Structure 1
Amino acid sequence: MSGAGLESAKKGWHATLALQFRHTPEKTVLASARHTGPLTVQRPFYPEEDTCHLYLLHPPGGIVGGDELDINVTLEPNSHALITMPGASKFYRSHGPQARLSQRFDLAENAILEWLPQDTIFFPAARAQLHTVFHLHERSQLLAWELFCLGRPVMGEAFGQGEISSRLEVWKSGMPLLMERLHLADGSLSAVAEQPWVGNLVFYPATENMLEGVRELLTPLNFYAGATLTDDLLTVRFLSHDNLICQRAMREIWQYLRPQLLNKSPVLPRIWQT
């Protein structure tokens, strides 16, 4: 069924997912996973023995106007989770109602989160509100990214007549480190230089040496990329017309920083290689 057909068949559903990770002497375990609606996870696996790799499953038919999704992830002290997805998230066109996605991550002392979702695709005329917030302990570690696709550029479909409101926040010990907002309305992409791909990456805690190394890796994105370091939070922003350039740059940055931040070699999630 098409996205419009799905929307007309229902007024929208409210899906929730709450995950809690716990450190044990052997490994990090998924101590609790509660969900309602079509938000769930696959069984965890351990390609690195101690680190919990987990695949989050978004609704298979995509997200339509009126749908509401709430994701809450808690990492207890010393736990380490890497979370990704088997495929892209899709926000379909809407004839009026707005879709909403809220994601909150709470990291305790010495907890490590790698939040590495696949891209989020906004179909032409989609109406969506997204809010992602990370609450860090001073001694926790974060490697996270988001990649938005506006329209379907591979098929020649520009993002038109839609509206997207997105907020990305990072807090440490109750104090804000980053408050990033993006608002696109009436199908206008002037705020993103008419580029259909928008990426953000955040890493904590980072150093000046890491900043310089990341800037070198951004060279393929030319003038549409930059990196800053504020209060040990490394933030990378970029725009592009090519998803392959985006994905390659993001993975190279993650592979470059993971050994320095975590003292662990990069182990690519298996799903990325299929």
Structure 2
Amino acid sequence: MTTNSTEKRAVRTSVLRASFLYADGATRLTDKYHTSPIKIAKSFPLKDQLAVIVMDASPGLLEGDCYELDWQAREFSHAYITNQSYMKVHPSSTSEEAMGSSISQTFRLGDNAIIEHMPEPVMLYKDAKLHSTTSVHLGPGSVWMQAEVICPGRTLRNEQFQYAELRSSLSVYYGDELIFAQRQRVVPGQHQLAAPGCWGEMTHMASFCLFTDQLTSSQIGLIKQLVDDLPATGDHQVVVGISETERYGLVAVAASTAAWPLQEAMRYLWNHARNIVLRKESVYFMYS
């Protein structure tokens, strides 16, 4: 039997849904549902919050894979979400019809709920094509934080910027109002990433986001000052810019020549920001 090379590949959708509830002085995982290959591998108390580790029982995102994750934090619950290892995005076919792979995450926060989303870095293999979409829905008094690191390929295999395409979007809502929207599309084969004013000599990118209606001007000032006190990272320069959003948020964008300096920078911003905003001490579970 012959196969048409232009025939579109089947989409394989994997779903993970989970809800958090605060009761009897602690946050608990009350409902969860998943389909292979993603699932919650473990949940456990981590100081004043519940930590959740997501496991991918596959080699990573293959062409046609679509991961859909939905997180709901009910009022006063506090969840910390991470994963076991790098999210690996494998090659897609090089045809124009290649669909690539996708991941969609939705965070729904009730009144005074807190979600800290600190995943391991994303690794884009040669010819990888990824579409990443994140939607955040904030309730009054809620707090959402996220740190993300993007690797442009396996550097020891000289795969820098050999991936096909990266599309990402972040939308943040306060109630029914869209208060922040960010879109990015990177096609290394078409874009001059090393041009002045673009990425220059940098190869790895990271972002840190903090959104809450409880953010004060003094807290904003303290968090912006953190950029001047980032830990030293040897030969790897880390460049960071941080800006206040139009409403209820701060976004920091960082660049370097390796993943680990950005992981350290994100850990530094996260730990200090949670101390400033949440008045909670540092947690060192991230990227351990």
User: TM-score, length-normalised on structure 1?
Assistant: 0.88
Q: CA deviation at 1:186?
A: 4.8
Equivalent residues, number: 262
- 1:108 aligns with 110
| 1:42 match: secondary structure | strand
Distance 1:240 1:223, change over 3 A: closer
- The answer to whether residue 198 in structure 2 is matched with residue 200 in structure 1 is no
- 1:265 aligns with 281
CA–CA distance in 2 between the matches of 1:19 and 1:164?
Answer: 27
Distance 1:262 1:121, change over 3 A: same
| 1:43 match: secondary structure | strand
- 2:3 aligns with none
Which structure has the larger Rg over C-alpha atoms? 2
- 1:209 aligns with 221
Q: Which string of whole-angstrom CA distances, capped at 9 and with x for unpartnered residues, describes residues 130-168 of structure 1?
A: 101111113101221111111122432222250111112
Contact 2:231 2:265 in 1 (8 A): no
Q: For the aligned residues, what is the CA RMSD? A: 2.1
CA–CA distance in 1 between the matches of 2:82 and 2:242?
Answer: 23
CA–CA distance in 2 between the matches of 1:266 and 1:87?
Answer: 21
- 1:244 aligns with 260
Unaligned runs of 5+ in 2: 1-8
Q: How does 1:144-155 map to 2 (within 5 A)?
A: 144-155=146-157
The letter for the 1-side match of 2:129 is R
Distance 1:32 1:180, change over 3 A: same
CA–CA distance in 2 between the matches of 1:41 and 1:70?
Answer: 13
CA–CA distance in 2 between the matches of 1:196 and 1:223?
Answer: 11
CA–CA distance in 2 between the matches of 1:189 and 1:147?
Answer: 21
- 1:6 aligns with none
Contact 1:160 1:186 in 2 (8 A): yes
| 1:45 match: secondary structure | strand
Contact 2:73 2:110 in 1 (8 A): yes
- 1:7 aligns with none
CA–CA distance in 1 between the matches of 2:202 and 2:56?
Answer: 26
- 2:174 aligns with 172
CA–CA distance in 2 between the matches of 1:257 and 1:200?
Answer: 14
CA–CA distance in 2 between the matches of 1:12 and 1:241?
Answer: 34
Q: Which string of whole-angstrom CA distances, capped at 9 and with x for unpartnered residues, describes residues 190-228 of structure 1?
A: 254463211111113333323332322458686842001
Q: CA deviation at 1:31?
A: 0.5
Of Structure 1 and Structure 2, which has the larger fraction of its residues in helix? 1
Contact 1:63 1:91 in 2 (8 A): yes
Contact 1:192 1:198 in 2 (8 A): no
Q: Give identity over the alignment, percent.
A: 23
| 1:84 match: secondary structure | strand
CA–CA distance in 2 between the matches of 1:59 and 1:196?
Answer: 29
Runs of 4+ in 1 over 6 A off after TM superposition: none
| 1:46 match: secondary structure | strand
Q: CA deviation at 1:174?
A: 2.1
Unaligned runs of 5+ in 1: 1-9
| 1:44 match: secondary structure | strand
The letter for the 1-side match of 2:64 is G
The letter for the 2-side match of 1:16 is V
More displaced 10-residue stretch of structure 1: 34-43 or 208-217: 208-217
- 1:44 aligns with 43
Distance 1:131 1:194, change over 3 A: farther
- The answer to whether residue 133 in structure 2 is matched with residue 121 in structure 1 is no
CA–CA distance in 1 between the matches of 2:173 and 2:223?
Answer: 20
- 1:65 aligns with 63
